A and B are shown apart, each in its own frame.
Chain A
């Protein structure tokens, strides 16, 4: 299917689009590859934007490839915003009215922050946090301010709180749920993060919803009210109530001459099949903006908005565009990670916030309340299903294998020292976890021991 000299155009220079471009180039010497972005000239790590604000890095440091990389790999970069797409003649029209044709089009346009129609949500000083432009806006919006409010208790919310905290700007953090991120995390884990947020002097308000945002005469935010009527003065409001596919430019401007098969099919995102094909031939969608007709796996959602899935979408589509035997997207064992202020979080496999009778869980928390691990395993088959770890780095390859091959939970538990990925000399907790399990179950399992020599030379055998 790969004809020579195809003109492949990718809209979006995030992890999905860039991964796709790189992998196409690896297997197809002749294709013309163009990446279009209005956001920045070069690919940068979106997840690192917070570190620019915090002074850990400069923008340059967030670019995973040096600027010469693109030229060397003959990947054309075009800085422009696409205003509309004429699928009939296979052409893009940019905001400056220039146009560009394509043979194959990959839509990797990412997300944009949600706004739910709150009064005052468009005031100056109110914003989300997703793009490089959002970072620049936040830089100017938070200059010389004395108080900020963040609305929405998810990953971007806590990152924004950490950003503001690094600049010593007091933050009130409104979370609608009973506990932080409790639609993803089980109760104990949520509560642990609640405590950690408070420890950082962030004013966490659980079960608190935004009422309205109040502006001053010049159109700048000066306060918010909660649904219970409390008024909080502030000069900045961060709206971090999730993101949705960034596909407005596809939806709002249907072409006059549009036949049915020349209008791209969308729902919340761009509808794709397991091969990332849209309803229009030679047009694909990957990453945050794609919505699978059917979920790619039982424990997956229709829209996957994670760095890792974006990368895998890009890899898979690139394979399909350069191979005679396209494969459906088939994600492996779920994994994800995040960092809540100082506490690192990793998860592998299946650990929902609540689980049914078929499963059992072991939860262990360190006395200091900042290190925790939870295992979920089958009640009857005793096979490990998933793990959540906080302040405890775990080996991805170990758990990928353990979960996909259905290892016995107790085997994992007794070999936990091998599964740990913590730096050398860190205190190990695998005995404490096993002790707790033994106590709870009246068992006497023993830790798989390593000899002194093995420890001395760092053998993992």
Chain B
């Protein structure tokens, strides 16, 4: 490692450590006005009354502040619940908004400074490390030492990274009030883009996009000379930055609903929820376009593009989850489980989630059109179960948190209902396949090892069979790492695409059926 890379690594770790501990700095002070401006009008009087013991008191940590807040707030609600006064209970969660508004520390005064010494310096350090990678080396496969690396082969560093990611997601989804300092840092950027202060989701989107861009640059270094990887990586970087990050914020600035035009139901599981539909319908022509475009993608876009190009057109070229997996997750692709057992579990799980998503959405739509007479508010319960179990726990905590433990496509492989839908089309009606080049396979195992989806590519390649699998996202890495030029991702005629009893070329004695 070059000196400059070591410096970069130190700077990155410095930024990361500061980012991790920043939530614990600063003081918190709640004022009456804070409550008045951050609480719905119908709750203002009650909340001011409930929280009045906190006013003017300076808390030296967010833990103390949140603890007091929760104790007053819960005491009030619990009392009502005990008396069965359900209509008076305040169901809204004000912990995040009030903690954020009460922060009086240095972060709220100097957001740019703290953004600079945590996130931006982290990016700078990462780039110092990444840009000199493989410099002075020839173009080619750069997998030396991956299985000696603690980070990349489930060593201590990998465990620590996984634990950090899991913790980050848990706090982000369920305890955002503890990371208000981090959200405060990006407030000015959010204001500039959408005219609104930042939520934890803005912070998340901001870091997510930076991760894809920085690690995308790493992809350019690592796969230098491989045009497919370079173009594909550029594509995911573009779609994340433009479609998932900038455009939705700009829509909000224009008083439109936040909308990601490349997100497709059922990955975008809330697309048919009442508030989304109402939001789109009430937003004029552009809103109607959002609705119609979304439906066209589901009904026409997915089958048509998947027929011609396989599910890769979405999963490894457009999708945000795929984008993160292909960039941030690339160092962990070799950790996916290739066993037949894992494949069995995969099929039950992913299609199970698809069925869940379809049923939930069907009920939601039926309920919507029946004017909520069918199920009343029961679909909300369903939504919160799905949101908790699938949307947050599976896609986030497990999906990304387990990168260093189970590979970078845990969510895409075992959980994503859109991947399941795309996969069904890819398996049964598509021109896409990975062609096996005659009898050239030497069973070395590089393809299977580096398949992020856990497909045992070699099993097909060594018997001269094309790889047609619903889970293949077409990342192209099996083809890249093959030392003998055996694998090629291509779209072609449907005839001969699935050759289940292939003839291995080269032996004229017999026509061997593998």
> Are A and B co-members of a single complex?
yes
Q: Which residues of A contact B (CB under 8 A)?
A: 15, 23, 45, 47-48, 51, 54-58, 61-64, 66, 166, 196, 199-200, 307-308, 311-312, 315-316, 319, 327-333, 335, 337-339, 341-342, 344, 346, 393-397, 400, 421-427, 457-461
Given contacts A54-B144, A199-B138, A396-B438, contact A346 B506 (CB under 8 A): no
B510 at the interface (CB under 8 A from A): yes
Distance A47 CA – B448 CA, assembled complex (angstroms) = 15
Residues of A within 8 A of B437 (CB): 393, 395-397, 421
Q: Are A61 and B445 in contact (CB under 8 A)?
A: yes
Given contacts A423-B227, A423-B480, A457-B431, contact A66 B340 (CB under 8 A): yes
Q: Are B509 and A458 in contact (CB under 8 A)?
A: no
Distance A311 CA – B442 CA, assembled complex (angstroms) = 10
Q: Are B440 and A461 in contact (CB under 8 A)?
A: no
Q: Are B476 and A335 in contact (CB under 8 A)?
A: no
Range, interface on chain B: 35 or more
Taking the closest CB of chain B, its distance from the CB of A354, in whole angstroms, is 25
Residues of B within 8 A of A425 (CB): 227-228, 231
Residues of B within 8 A of A58 (CB): 147
Q: Which of B100-153 contact A (CB under 8 A)?
A: 138-141, 143-149
Nearest A-chain residue to B436, judged by Cβ = A396
Taking the closest CB of chain A, its distance from the CB of B328, in whole angstroms, is 21
Residues of A within 8 A of B228 (CB): 423-426
Partner of B439, one of A61, A62, A308, A457: A308
Taking the closest CB of chain A, its distance from the CB of B449, in whole angstroms, is 4
Taking the closest CB of chain B, its distance from the CB of A397, in whole angstroms, is 5
Proximity string of chain B (449-490) to chain A, C-beta cutoff 8 Å, 1 when within and 0 when not: 100000000110010000000000000100111011100111
Q: Are B439 and A335 in contact (CB under 8 A)?
A: yes
Distance A327 CA – B481 CA, assembled complex (angstroms) = 37
Residues of B within 8 A of A316 (CB): 507, 509-510
Taking the closest CB of chain B, its distance from the CB of A82, in whole angstroms, is 24
Partner of A47, one of B140, B444, B507, B510: B444
Residues of A within 8 A of B308 (CB): 457-458
In this complex, which of B443, B449, B504, B508 has the most chain A Cβ atoms within 10 angstroms of its Cβ? B443
Distance A369 CA – B207 CA, assembled complex (angstroms) = 42
B446 at the interface (CB under 8 A from A): yes
Distance A45 CA – B144 CA, assembled complex (angstroms) = 19
Proximity string of chain B (56-76) to chain A, C-beta cutoff 8 Å, 1 when within and 0 when not: 000000000000000000000
Residues of A within 8 A of B141 (CB): 56, 342
Q: Are B140 and A341 in contact (CB under 8 A)?
A: yes
B491 at the interface (CB under 8 A from A): yes
Taking the closest CB of chain A, its distance from the CB of B33, in whole angstroms, is 59
Q: Which of B238-274 contact A (CB under 8 A)?
A: none
B301 at the interface (CB under 8 A from A): no
What 9 A-B pairs are tightest by C-beta distance, nearest first?
A396-B438, A458-B491, A342-B140, A393-B485, A48-B444, A425-B227, A55-B145, A312-B507, A332-B508
Partner of A396, one of B144, B443, B505: B505
In this complex, which of B228, B231, B445 has the most chain A Cβ atoms within 10 angstroms of its Cβ? B445
B512 at the interface (CB under 8 A from A): yes
Q: Are A55 and B143 in contact (CB under 8 A)?
A: yes
Residues of B within 8 A of A308 (CB): 439-440, 442, 506
Residues of A within 8 A of B506 (CB): 308, 312, 331-333, 335, 396, 400
Residues of A within 8 A of B438 (CB): 335, 395-397, 400
Residues of B within 8 A of A66 (CB): 339-340
Q: Which of B220-238 contact A (CB under 8 A)?
A: 226-228, 231
Nearest A-chain residue to B227, judged by Cβ = A425
Q: Are A61 and B449 in contact (CB under 8 A)?
A: yes
Q: Are A15 and B443 in contact (CB under 8 A)?
A: yes
B493 at the interface (CB under 8 A from A): yes
Q: Are A55 and B507 in contact (CB under 8 A)?
A: no
Taking the closest CB of chain B, its distance from the CB of A419, in whole angstroms, is 11
Q: Are B147 and A57 in contact (CB under 8 A)?
A: yes
Taking the closest CB of chain B, its distance from the CB of A53, in whole angstroms, is 10
In this complex, which of B228, B438, B446, B448 has the most chain A Cβ atoms within 10 angstroms of its Cβ? B438
Given contacts A55-B147, A332-B505, A341-B138, contact A423 B510 (CB under 8 A): no
Q: Are B507 and A458 in contact (CB under 8 A)?
A: no
Q: Are B505 and A55 in contact (CB under 8 A)?
A: no
Nearest B-chain residue to A323, judged by Cβ = B510
Partner of B493, one of A45, A196, A460: A460
Residues of B within 8 A of A459 (CB): 491-493
Distance A338 CA – B144 CA, assembled complex (angstroms) = 18
Nearest B-chain residue to A393, judged by Cβ = B485
Q: Are B507 and A315 in contact (CB under 8 A)?
A: yes
In this complex, which of A55, A339, A394 has the most chain B Cβ atoms within 10 angstroms of its Cβ? A55
Distance A397 CA – B493 CA, assembled complex (angstroms) = 16
A-B contact pairs, 23 of them (CB 8 A): A47-B444, A48-B442, A48-B443, A48-B444, A48-B445, A54-B143, A57-B147, A61-B449, A62-B444, A196-B138, A308-B506, A315-B510, A319-B510, A332-B507, A335-B505, A337-B442, A342-B140, A421-B488, A423-B489, A424-B488, A425-B227, A426-B227, A458-B309
Taking the closest CB of chain A, its distance from the CB of B342, in whole angstroms, is 11
Given contacts A54-B144, A56-B144, A333-B506, contact A339 B445 (CB under 8 A): no
Nearest B-chain residue to A461, judged by Cβ = B493
Residues of A within 8 A of B459 (CB): 64
Nearest B-chain residue to A346, judged by Cβ = B485
Residues of B within 8 A of A396 (CB): 437-440, 505-506
In this complex, which of A23, A51, A319, A394 has the most chain B Cβ atoms within 10 angstroms of its Cβ? A51
Nearest A-chain residue to B476, judged by Cβ = A423
Partner of B491, one of A47, A56, A339, A457: A457
Taking the closest CB of chain A, its distance from the CB of B158, in whole angstroms, is 15
Q: Are B508 and A458 in contact (CB under 8 A)?
A: no
Distance A8 CA – B51 CA, assembled complex (angstroms) = 84
Taking the closest CB of chain B, its distance from the CB of A25, in whole angstroms, is 13
Residues of A within 8 A of B139 (CB): 342
Taking the closest CB of chain A, its distance from the CB of B486, in whole angstroms, is 8
Residues of A within 8 A of B309 (CB): 458
Taking the closest CB of chain A, its distance from the CB of B429, in whole angstroms, is 14
Residues of A within 8 A of B479 (CB): 423
Partner of B462, one of A64, A200, A328, A393: A64
Residues of B within 8 A of A56 (CB): 141, 143-144, 146-147, 446, 449, 481
Distance A327 CA – B510 CA, assembled complex (angstroms) = 8
Q: Are A47 and B442 in contact (CB under 8 A)?
A: yes
Residues of A within 8 A of B493 (CB): 459-461
Residues of A within 8 A of B488 (CB): 393, 421-424
Distance A342 CA – B458 CA, assembled complex (angstroms) = 21
Residues of A within 8 A of B484 (CB): 337-339, 344, 346
Nearest A-chain residue to B432, judged by Cβ = A458
Partner of B431, one of A48, A330, A337, A458: A458
Distance A332 CA – B143 CA, assembled complex (angstroms) = 35
Partner of B443, one of A45, A393, A457: A45
Q: Are A166 and B439 in contact (CB under 8 A)?
A: no
Taking the closest CB of chain A, its distance from the CB of B442, in whole angstroms, is 4
Other A-B pairs beyond A54-B145, A56-B449, 15, CB < 8 Å: A51-B444, A54-B143, A55-B148, A56-B141, A61-B445, A64-B459, A166-B144, A316-B509, A327-B509, A328-B509, A396-B440, A423-B227, A424-B227, A424-B476, A459-B493
Residues of A within 8 A of B485 (CB): 337, 344, 346, 393-394, 421
Given contacts A333-B506, A342-B139, contact A315 B512 (CB under 8 A): yes
Nearest B-chain residue to A328, judged by Cβ = B509
Residues of B within 8 A of A458 (CB): 308-309, 431, 490-492
Residues of A within 8 A of B480 (CB): 423
